[in-house]
Amino acid sequence: MNGNSTSSDWDGRYFHVDQILDKPGPRTDPSFLAGDGVKDFLRNQCKILVIGAGGLGCEILANLALSGFKDIHVIDMDTIDISNLNRQFLFRQKDVGKPKATVAAEFIMNRVPGVQVTPYYGKIQDKDEDYYMQFNLVVCGLDSVEARRWINATLVNMVDPENPESLKPLIDGGTEGFKGQARVILPTVSSCYECSLDMLNKPTAFPICTIANTPRLPEHCIEWASVLEWPRVFGDKKLDTDDPEHIGWLFNHALKRAKEFKIEGVTWSLTQGVVKNIIPAIASTNAIIAASCCNEAFKIATSSAAYLNNYFMLIGTDGVYSYTFEHEQRKDCPVCGGESLDISIKKDWTVERLIEMLVEKQDIQIKKPSLSTPTKQIYLQAPPQLEQATRPNLEKKVSELVEDGGDITVTAASLPFNLSLRIKYI
Amino acid sequence: MLKIWSMKKNEDAAAKKKPKTSAAQIRVQKDLTELDLPSTMQTTFADPADLLNFELKITPDEGMYKGGAFSFSFNIGPNYPHEPPKVKCIPKIYHPNVDLEGNVCLNILREDWKPVLNLNSVMVGLQYLFLEPNADDPLNKEAAEELRRNRDQFLYNVKNSMRGGNIKNEHYDRVTNQ
Amino acid sequence: MAQPDSQEIGDATTAVHSQPDSKTRRYDRQLRLWAASGQSALESSRTLVISASATSTSILKNLVLPGIGHFTLLDADAVSPADAGNNFFLNGYSSIGKNKAEEAVPLLTELNESVDGKAEVKPIDEVLQTDEGRNWVKSFSLVIAHNLSQDTLDTLSKLLWDGLGNPPLIVVRSAGFLADFFIQFHEQCIIEPHSETFPSLRLTRPFPALAEWANSTDYDKLDPTEHAHIPFPIILVKATEKWKAEHDGQLPKVYAEKQAFKAAIRDLQKKMDEENFDEAEAQAWRISGEVPVPSEIKSLFALTPLVPASSSSSTNGSSVSEQSNAAFHTLLQTLKLFVESPEGPGCLPLTSTLPDMHTDTESYVRLQRMYKEQAGKEAALFKKILKANFPDTPVDDGMVDLFVKNTHHVNVLRGKRWGAWEEDKSAVASSLESDPRETATHLALSALSNLQSKGIDVTADALRADILTRLPPNTELPEEMTNAVGELERSPTADVPNTAAFLGGMIAQEAIKMITKQYVPVKGYCVVDLVESWTGVVGA
């Protein structure tokens, strides 16, 4: 319990939320335990992780805190920039340059008494499975595809069929201008982030010959400056898109080129927008999507109402259009799809013997399988150099290469998905 | 509580597991082991354990670039196949679609990349550039100009450059074996 | 940092000066949406928010952050322990007993120094009783009301509906996981829409310079590189001319003809994969899609202005939005005259924005200039017609230019009075059949509000009984009604944080759309169900 109970849990504090928690609604699952049990879990036991303390993250933290989550952790690797202040409402001018996670955590703890927010200023990749295992839920407000893919794959891979606690619901939100989406991912149970990767708009890229020789748009001139001219002039020196001097250099060179080709419209803002791939962002859309994410987190944590199955998208540019649907799990998803087999083999089996067994297995119809562990290749059928390099492994015992209970990833041209083997020795 | 949980948290830490193979890694393994390359193309891995960085050598057996060996570096990022591999031509060559820094103008390496494409598509696309250089949308404008205006002179320049010669004060790397 | 040889010192200085000021940097991510014009509209707006609930402060947060000019938060009540628990813009426990609006306003204004915020400690009912109070309410540019009692809402909505110059009213109602909102407005003219489609390129009725370029292009005289870089509009203009000559002046109409038209373009390719010809083929739909005036714009021509143009400019005291709507209608009427004018092109004015296309720089720049020049000529003609026909109606030149640039996508919405839809019980009943869950939720919220203002206990039976009075006799309530009624019975007075935050975002989006006039606000009742996470619209 928190030390200061008079000011942190005053009578009537949860008058609003308790109306939901004291009684089921018509669409509430029968397993819902109305009253003290659920409140105790939410307020004293549940541990929730928020990834990202930016546009969505600030909103998510505030909503979770007000909803009654008291043990909240937040990870963010960024520091505060002036352009965040039009929506990231836990930050002020004086905070510019400070880590987002720390400032956000402090703000929430000051404003909402009794809530513990533990910040981590760093990358999600710094943390291991033990770290992620401690949470009941993960809510994600990220702007990077790469980070989302990482956390998604990590949470999917953490699922251990023998341990229900290992399944961590992942709630993910994203926005762009007046549009956004929120989704609930139950790792291995429902469609995951990787399953829907093809729904993403691909970033705009211009043909390199257009940039080099036939620029037409101001964007072409800017890309020329950043893609061709910068590396030509500075070699391996990395372009820092947060450095105004670098942007200034690109802007000037793009502008010069635009003049040369009689192209109008190169501005500082456009230069920055193109090289940083800036996505417009406003407070209101973030509020909607973050609220939706937190609402799902609250419903899943408390079972107080049906939860989103599993994708909500909103377009606010022309009236209010939203679409709620079930995104289907992809059978051939490289993260949550594919087949998983538990295989028991003798400790003295060679890799070659294992491959023979796989080829002979009627139910998987595999030809020419290639095998690897997460850290090394075991045997690759091609290209020739890799085949040669891995050939000596054929003679080796599987048990020399894979520990008991370890995984082997199998790919083959005849397999549209990947196969994962969990090896047990008998 | 959503059914997947119990009210009492299980205190036993789950058995420690190592991170599994990433989606990008699996895709690269699949792409590489299913490469279907003609004898004119060969991959080389500086470190056979690192599938994400390698070279492709193209030795065209027909066309204007016959007799040369052209190496490209492939660098595959963690966001593959959402993002295309980064490909550069290693030697400095005289080609309408490759600039002096090794940038290659191939649509599927940039604007037309899709995750359903694979390394094989990229390699085949690169080889095609040596069979059919495209003079209409060039990267090396002078080479393209030459190809359009004076095919014989262009061919001479190609041969000359492949032997490590100079064209218009620009030195090119030798890419022939002899 | 190593300076390249070509870099001059002057460049570096320019770079420093070109970096935007701190206000532009602060608003960068939103200026990319609504630009300086939208920002200045926001900055000159004045919003009144009635009741300092968690929902209200969430709405305000999302308006203060992007920088509205002024807001007033009106609430006479003291902070209760419940308020202190669910409202982020109160100081928790220490706010209990103090006035809600006064506690919330400093925490809201702190979000953005450039916003002026004020707390008004008065009961709304009292304000609405005096002329002074009523005029004060009408002096805002937007009024937002959350969970007002039914009687108050009736008075307020009638007051604001009675007068074209009065501010729009956004009515927000919520309980637990359910909510709806409605914007009461007479007219919303959208002069700066964000359309994702490019306006007509005038391919079937090319202006002289464009026709001349097409005519003078002889495919056989071009070298392969030039051939592969003819801009697609030129290809399409040529192909259209040819088609018309061979088909009695008709354009391709039916599917087979359209396919034949595309095939003809394909046949023009000199070698495989000429991207400009591929583009021309892909853009061939423009040919049959090009009409002198799109039907949406034609329907605007038929609108009668709510205020006659002449009276609005001479009437003193008409509101800014009223004046701008009147000016918009003047421009709309001018547009009609422009289309009919024998001096004009017989269609909407040309815009100078061109899509990117596969061509060389020189051709693209040439084409761009050509479009720009022609667009300039047509804009001048538009202004001439405006002046000749509406000599007494001065319209700001910037507004004229904006209008002319956007004639393909401008829009006018006509709204309804709050409650008008429900007066037609059969319309509500048919909506209950076609959109059961949305209509059921809306009706249930209306019933809840009625029971609460009459002090009747909120039970499922009482809600159902009330709902039945809103429908024609013997209407059967659908299954969906059970969900809505049950949810409201469970949490009739709950302003839960997530619903409040969700509405905070939704209403702020709508407010921004109303203020900037760049996006289309929702018409009718937008209904929200956060159990299954959907939104829907009824009564539009």
Helix H, strand E, coil C: the string for A23-88 is: CCCCCCCCCCCCCHHHHHHHHHHCEEEEECCCHHHHHHHHHHHHHCCCEEEEEECCECCHHHCCCC
Last residue of a domain, which of C411, C440, C457? C411
What is the pLDDT, as a whole number, of residue A291? 98
CB contact under 8 A, B49 and A380: no
How, if at all, do strands A116-121 and A71-76 pair?
parallel
* Residue extent(s) of CATH 3.10.290.20 domains in chain A: 339-425
The 3-state DSSP class for residue C309 equals helix
Q: Is residue C62 domain-shared with residue C94, that is, in the same domain?
A: yes
Q: Give the percent of chain B with pLDDT over 90.
A: 72
Q: Is residue C170 domain-shared with residue C71, that is, in the same domain?
A: yes
Establish if C17 belongs to a structural domain. Answer: no
What is the pLDDT, as a whole number, of residue A236? 86
Element (H, E) at A379: strand A377-379
> Residue B38: which pLDDT band, with cuts at 50, 70 and 90?
very high
Owner of token pair 């490590």: B164
Which of C27, C29, C114, C147 to mutate to probe the A interface, most A CBs <10 Å? C29
Å from C231 to nearest chain B CA? Answer: 14
Class of the CATH domain delimited by A339-425: alpha beta
Report residue C437 as tokens. Answer: 């869950």
- Give the residue-averaged pLDDT of B129-151: 92
Tens of each residue's pLDDT in chain C, 540 residues = 333 433 433 344 444 457 889 999 999 999 999 999 999 999 999 999 999 999 999 999 999 999 999 999 999 999 999 999 999 999 999 999 999 999 999 999 999 999 999 999 999 999 999 999 999 999 999 999 999 999 999 999 999 999 999 999 999 999 999 999 999 999 999 999 998 887 889 999 999 999 999 999 999 999 888 999 999 999 999 999 999 999 999 999 899 999 999 999 999 998 888 999 999 999 999 998 788 899 999 999 999 888 765 554 444 556 777 888 999 999 999 999 999 999 999 999 999 889 999 999 999 999 999 999 999 999 999 999 999 999 988 889 999 999 999 999 999 999 999 999 999 999 999 999 999 999 999 999 999 999 999 999 999 999 999 999 999 999 999 999 999 999 999 999 999 999 999 999 999 999 999 999 999 999 999 999 999 999 999 999
CB contact under 8 A, A303 and B32: no
Scanning every residue of chain A, which has its alpha carbon at the shortest distance from the alpha carbon of B78? A146
CB contact under 8 A, A231 and B79: no
pTM of the prediction? Answer: 0.91
What are the residues whose beta carbons fall under 8 Å from the beta carbon of C255, sequence distance 6 or more? none
Q: Which of A46, A192, A209, A221 is an active site residue?
A: A209
**Can you give the residue range of the structural domain that contains B90?**
23-171
* Distance between CA atoms of residues C385 and C388, nearest Å: 5
Residue C171 pairs in a beta bridge with C145, C182
* Distance between CA atoms of residues B161 and C96, nearest Å: 83
CB pairs under 8 A between A and C: 290
User: Using CB atoms, which residue from C16, C67, C531 is nearest to A27?
Assistant: C531
* Distance between CA atoms of residues C466 and C537, nearest Å: 22
Residue B13 has pLDDT above 60, yes or no: no
Å from A340 to nearest chain B CA? Answer: 13
Q: Is residue C326 domain-shared with residue C406, that is, in the same domain?
A: yes
Establish if C25 belongs to a structural domain. Answer: no
Q: Is residue C122 domain-shared with residue C161, that is, in the same domain?
A: yes
Number of domains in chain C: 4
C68 part of contact set with chain B, CB < 8 Å: no
Query: What separation in angstroms does the CA of A128 have from each of A132, A133, B17, B131?
Result: 7, 9, 10, 49
Q: Is residue C284 domain-shared with residue C186, that is, in the same domain?
A: no
What are the residues whose beta carbons fall under 8 Å from the beta carbon of C311, sequence distance 6 or more? none
Sort out which chain C residues have CB atoms less than 8 A from B148's CB and list them.
223-225
Which of A209, A234, A355, A417 to mutate to probe the B interface, most B CBs <10 Å? A209
- Give the residue-averaged pLDDT of A162-187: 95
User: Using CB atoms, which residue from A202, A210, A374 is nearest to B21?
Assistant: A374
Question: Rounded to 5 degrees, what are φ and ψ at C412?
Answer: -130, 125
* Distance between CA atoms of residues C532 and A171, nearest Å: 15
CB contact under 8 A, C526 and A320: yes
Q: Is residue C176 domain-shared with residue C38, that is, in the same domain?
A: yes
Å from C5 to nearest chain B CA? Answer: 18
Least confident of A306-310, A416-420, C9-13, C49-53: C9-13
Cis peptide before A213 (omega within 30 of 0): no
CB A58 within 8 A of CB A92: no
Q: Is residue C284 domain-shared with residue C307, that is, in the same domain?
A: no
B111 part of contact set with chain C, CB < 8 Å: no
Which of C225, C273, C278, C358 to mutate to probe the B interface, most B CBs <10 Å? C225
Amino acid of residue A163 = N
* Distance between CA atoms of residues A416 and C264, nearest Å: 40
Q: A208-275 is classed in which CATH architecture? A: Orthogonal Bundle (1.10)
Establish if C90 belongs to a structural domain. Answer: yes
Triad A156, A416, B123: Cα angle to 5°: 105
C423 part of contact set with chain B, CB < 8 Å: no
Q: Is residue C146 domain-shared with residue C89, that is, in the same domain?
A: yes
Number of domains in chain B: 1
Residue A4 has pLDDT above 70, yes or no: no
What is the three-state SS of C30-57?
Answer: HHHHHHHHHHHHHHCCEEEEECCCHHHH
User: Using CB atoms, which residue from C493, C505, C512 is nearest to A287?
Assistant: C505
- Give the residue-averaged pLDDT of A288-306: 97
Establish if C6 belongs to a structural domain. Answer: no
Q: Give the percent of chain A with pLDDT over 70.
A: 98
CB contact under 8 A, C20 and A280: no
**Can you give the residue range of the structural domain that contains C53?**
30-193+495-535
Class of the CATH domain delimited by A5-200+281-325: alpha beta
- CATH classification of the domain holding B58: 3.10.110.10
A166 part of contact set with chain B, CB < 8 Å: yes
CB contact under 8 A, C223 and B148: yes
Sort out which chain C residues have CB atoms less than 8 A from A281's CB and list them.
29-30
Establish if B11 belongs to a structural domain. Answer: no
CB pairs under 8 A between A and B: 183
pLDDT tens per residue across span A57-88: 999 999 999 999 999 999 999 999 999 999 99
User: Using CB atoms, which residue from A45, A210, A381 is nearest to B33?
Assistant: A381
What is the pLDDT, as a whole number, of residue C310? 53
pLDDT tens per residue across span A99-135: 999 999 999 999 999 999 999 999 999 999 999 999 9
Report residue B176 as tokens. Answer: 């022939």
Report residue C539 as tokens. Answer: 């009564």
C228 part of contact set with chain B, CB < 8 Å: yes
Residue B56 has pLDDT above 50, yes or no: yes
Å from A71 to nearest chain C CA? Answer: 17
Residue B11 has pLDDT above 80, yes or no: no
Residue A364 has pLDDT above 80, yes or no: no
User: Sheet harboring B86-89: ordered strands across?
Assistant: B41-44, B53-58, B70-75, B86-89
CB contact under 8 A, B101 and A136: no
Query: What separation in angstroms does the CA of C479 have from each of A304, C304, C441, C533, C535?
Result: 20, 43, 12, 18, 18
Q: Is residue C256 domain-shared with residue C341, that is, in the same domain?
A: no
The 3-state DSSP class for residue C381 equals helix
Q: Is residue C334 domain-shared with residue C376, that is, in the same domain?
A: yes
Establish if B12 belongs to a structural domain. Answer: no
Those chains having 3 or more beta-carbon pairs within 8 angstroms of chain B are A, C
Which of A208, A233, A309 to mutate to probe the B interface, most B CBs <10 Å? A208
Residue C120 pairs in a beta bridge with C74
Å from B28 to nearest chain A CA? Answer: 10
Q: Which of B51, B52, B100, B105 is an active site residue?
A: B105
Establish if B6 belongs to a structural domain. Answer: no
B136 part of contact set with chain C, CB < 8 Å: yes
DSSP single-letter state for residue C265: H
Q: Is residue C266 domain-shared with residue C361, that is, in the same domain?
A: no
> Residue B24: which pLDDT band, with cuts at 50, 70 and 90?
confident
Amino acid of residue A214 = T
CB contact under 8 A, C505 and A284: yes
What is the pLDDT, as a whole number, of residue C204? 93
What is the pLDDT, as a whole number, of residue B119? 97
- CATH classification of the domain holding C185: 3.40.50.720
* Distance between CA atoms of residues A147 and C215, nearest Å: 54
Q: Is residue C313 domain-shared with residue C431, that is, in the same domain?
A: no
* Residue extent(s) of CATH 3.40.50.720 domains in chain A: 5-200+281-325
CB contact under 8 A, B19 and A130: no
Higher pLDDT, B20 or B50: B50
CB contact under 8 A, A38 and B79: no
Query: What separation in angstroms does the CA of C446 have from each of C144, C261, C460, C463, C487?
Result: 18, 56, 14, 9, 14
A236 part of contact set with chain B, CB < 8 Å: no
Å from A378 to nearest chain C CA? Answer: 43
What is the pLDDT, as a whole number, of residue C318? 67
- B89 an active-site residue? no
* Residue extent(s) of CATH 1.10.10.520 domains in chain A: 208-275
DSSP single-letter state for residue B153: H
Average pLDDT over all residues of chain B: 87
Sort out which chain A residues have CB atoms less than 8 A from B10's CB and list them.
163, 165
Those chains having 3 or more beta-carbon pairs within 8 angstroms of chain A are B, C
